[in-house]
């Protein structure tokens, strides 16, 4: 892992595709590894003491869970994800969110998530999946899902054409599958907690892929020291082989 952060101006505006038609885009970022170190040294006017000592202090902060200095860095993203993902995302109440609304903007045909595979219910864990359905049965389910989406959207469009308000017409749409776009903001401390929970192997795939995209494409390039400390003390053994 490099010790040199990627310049913010090369990260802002970067958009990474996720799932079948989702994406995550960095809109803004405030602060860097040094900002975290300087916040910890606020009593000493926050002056750098050189890369080696600065990095050592940041690792100390992460190891001993001195979290407030990490709150001095903030990320703001624009994200397009299906509601099944947002349903879990908003459980992390430390994110500041503003979402698009179906009351103001009509949905478009095809604004629905189609999974790459049909995961099977785990026999031992009520909230987890295990393995996947394969062969003709899997293809048949995907075909039925697409037909369901098409029929639902036709009913939605029929209601709009009849003059029904968008806030009611959307009742025809398959709720958990609809893609929404959000603007979301979080500080690095709470983002670390989110990543620890949602990058884990037992996290649901639909949110895990977004967490990994944030980490690999934005968090790690912008905060290389913090990412290295995260992999050392919070998620030891983390590596690309674990990525979904």
Q: Which residues participate in catalysis according to the annotation?
A: 198
Place of tokens 């975290």: 36
Q: How far is Cα 200 from Cα 61, in angstroms, rounded to an integer? A: 22
Q: How far is Cα 154 from Cα 242, in angstroms, rounded to an integer? A: 40
Closest to 24 measured CA to CA, from 213, 191, 195 = 213
The answer to whether the Cα torsion of 67, 68, 74, 79 is positive or negative is positive
Neighbouring-strand partners of residue 99: 182
- Asked if 238 and 199 touch (Cβ cutoff 8 Å), the reply is yes
Interacting residues of 185 by C-beta distance below 8 A, sequence separation 6+: 74, 75, 76, 77, 95, 96, 97
- Asked if 69 and 57 touch (Cβ cutoff 8 Å), the reply is no
Neighbouring-strand partners of residue 132: 119
Q: Is 73 exposed, middle or buried (0-12, 13-18, 19+ CB in 10 A)?
A: buried
Closest to 229 measured CA to CA, from 202, 192, 199 = 192
Place of tokens 């000493």: 44
């Amino acid at each position: 892992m490099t010790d040199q952060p990627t310049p913010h101006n090369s990260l802002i505006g970067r958009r990474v595709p996720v799932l079948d038609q989702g994406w995550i885009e960095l809109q803004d970022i405030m602060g860097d590894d040094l900002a975290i170190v300087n916040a910890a040294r606020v009593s000493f006017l926050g002056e750098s003491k050189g890369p080696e000592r600065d990095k050592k202090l940041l690792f100390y902060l992460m190891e001993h869970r001195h979290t407030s200095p990490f709150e001095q860095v903030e990320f703001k993203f624009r994200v397009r994800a299906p509601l099944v993902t947002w349903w879990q995302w908003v459980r992390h109440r430390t994110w500041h969110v503003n979402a698009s609304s179906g009351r103001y903007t009509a949905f478009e045909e095809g604004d629905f998530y189609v999974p790459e595979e049909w995961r099977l219910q785990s026999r031992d864990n009520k909230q987890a999946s295990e393995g996947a359905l394969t062969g003709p049965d899997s293809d048949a389910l995907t075909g039925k899902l697409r037909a369901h989406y098409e029929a639902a959207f036709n009913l939605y469009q029929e209601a709009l054409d009849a003059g029904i308000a968008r806030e009611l017409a959307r009742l025809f749409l398959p709720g958990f599958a609809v893609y929404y776009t959000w603007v979301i903001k979080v500080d690095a401390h709470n983002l670390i907690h989110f990543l620890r929970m949602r990058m884990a192997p037992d996290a649901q795939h639909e949110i895990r892929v977004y967490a990994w995209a944030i980490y690999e494409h934005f968090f790690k390039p912008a905060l290389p020291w913090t990412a290295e400390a995260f992999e050392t003390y919070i998620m030891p053994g983390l590596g690309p082989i674990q990525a979904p």
